Chains A and B, each alone.
Chain A
Amino acid sequence: MRARCLGSTGFAALLILLALALVPVNLAAEVASSVTITGYNTLYYSGDPEDPVAVAAVLKSSLNVDSVGNKNVKAYLQLDSWITDTVNFDVPRAYIKVRFPWFRLTLGKTRVSWGDGFVFNAGDVVFASMGTISDDLFAETLRDETAWLVALNLPVGPFSFFEAVFLPYDPLGLGDSSHPVSGGVRGAFKLDRLKTTVEAGYLVSRPYWEHRPYISLHGHLLVDWNLSASMAIPIDNPQWRQWDEWIGISAGMFHLVNLGLNRTLSFRLEAAIRPGAEWEEASAGTDYGLFLFPEIAFSPTDTLSLQLRSFVSPVDQSALFMVGGNWNVYQGLDVFSYLTFMAGEWKKDFFSLDQEGSVSWTAGLEFVY
Chain B
Amino acid sequence: MTRLSFLILAMGLTAALSVSAITAEEIIANVERNEINEEERIDGSMIISDRFGSRVKTFISYASGADKMLLEFTNPEEKGQKILRLEDEIYLYFPEAEEVIHLQGSALKESVMGSDFSYEDMTGEGDLLDQYKVTLLGEETIDGRRHYHLELEAKKRGLAYPKQEAWVDAEYWVMTRANSYSLSGRLLKEMELGDIRKVAGKYVPHYIIMRDAMKKNSSTEMRIEKIDLQADLPPNVFSLEELTW
Task: Assess whether B53 is in contact with A113, with CB atoms less than 8 Å apart.
Answer: no
B171 CB–A CB distance under 8 Å: no
B130 at interface, CB cutoff 8 A: no
Among B201-231, those with CB < 8 Å from A are 212, 214-215
With A155-B239, A158-B240, A262-B212 already in contact, the answer to whether A113 and B98 are too (CB < 8 A) is: yes
Q: Contact between B188 and A261 (Cβ–Cβ < 8 Å)?
A: yes
Quick one: given A111-B97, A144-B97, A262-B111, are A368 and B76 in contact (CB under 8 Å)? Answer: yes
Q: Are B241 and A161 in contact (CB under 8 A)?
A: yes
Complex CA gap A141/B107 in Å reads: 19
| Chain A residues whose CB sits within 8 angstroms of the CB of B96 once the complex forms | 111, 141, 144
Minimum CB–CB distance for A200 against chain B, Å: 17
Which residues of B lie under 8 Å from residue A83 when comparing CB positions?
Answer: none
Q: Measured between C-beta atoms, what is the minimum distance from B221 to chain A in Å?
A: 14
Note all chain B residues with C-beta closer than 8 A to A179: none
Asked if residues A368 and B110 are in contact (CB atoms below 8 Å), the reply is no
B2 CB within 8 Å of chain A: no
CB neighbours (8 Å) of A110 from chain B are 98
CA distance A113 to B189 in the complex (A): 39
Chain A residue total in the interface (Cβ 8 A): 44
Check B106–A256 contact: CB distance below 8 A: yes
Give A220-262 interface residues, CB cut-off 8 Å to B: 220, 224, 256-258, 260-262
| B52 and A158 contacting across the interface, CB-CB below 8 Å | no
- A332 interface residue, CB < 8 Å from B? yes
Partner of B102, one of A113, A143, A220: A220
Known interface pairs A141-B96, A261-B188; A256-B76 also in contact (CB < 8 Å): no
A104 to B48, CA, bound (A): 36
Inter-chain contacts of B107 with A (CB < 8 A): 256, 258
Which of A153, A257, A261, A331 makes the CB contact (< 8 A) with B54? A331
A99 at interface (Cβ–Cβ under 8 A)? yes
Question: A158 and B239 in contact (CB under 8 A), knowing A34-B79, A99-B245, A329-B52?
Answer: yes
Shortest distance between the CB of B159 and any CB in chain A (Å): 13
Q: Known: A155-B241, A261-B188. Is A332-B114 also a contact (CB below 8 A)?
A: no
Is A369 within 8 A of B215, CB to CB? no
In the complex, chain B residues 9-51 whose Cβ is within 8 Å of any chain A Cβ: 48, 50
Q: Tell me if A303 and B114 are in contact (CB < 8 A).
A: yes
Q: Name A142's closest neighbour in chain B (CB-CB).
A: B97
Q: Which A residues touch B98, using CB under 8 A?
A: 110-113
A256, A261, A330: the one contacting B212 at CB < 8 Å is A261
Q: CB distance B99 to A368 under 8 Å? A: no
Give the distance in Å from the alpha carbon of A220 to the alpha carbon of B114 in the complex. 25
Collect the chain B residues with CB atoms within 8 Å of residue A261's CB.
109, 111, 188-189, 212, 214
Instruction: Check B164 for interface membership: any CB of A closer than 8 A.
Output: no
Contact B97–A141 (Cβ < 8 Å): yes
Is the beta-carbon distance between B99 and A113 smaller than 8 angstroms?
Answer: yes
- Using a CB–CB cutoff of 8 Å, the interface residues on chain B facing chain A are 48, 50, 52-56, 74, 76-77, 79-80, 86, 94, 96-99, 102, 104, 106-107, 109-111, 114-116, 188-189, 212, 214-215, 234, 236, 238-241, 245
Q: List 17 A-B contacts (CB under 8 A).
A: A34-B77, A99-B245, A112-B98, A141-B94, A144-B97, A155-B236, A155-B239, A258-B109, A261-B189, A262-B110, A262-B116, A302-B111, A302-B114, A303-B114, A330-B53, A331-B55, A368-B77
Give A contacts to B, CB under 8 Å: 32, 34-35, 64, 66, 71, 74, 97, 99, 104, 110-113, 140-141, 143-144, 153, 155, 158-161, 218, 220, 224, 256-258, 260-262, 264, 301-303, 328-332, 368-369
The 4 closest A-B pairs by CB, nearest first: A34-B76, A302-B114, A331-B55, A141-B97
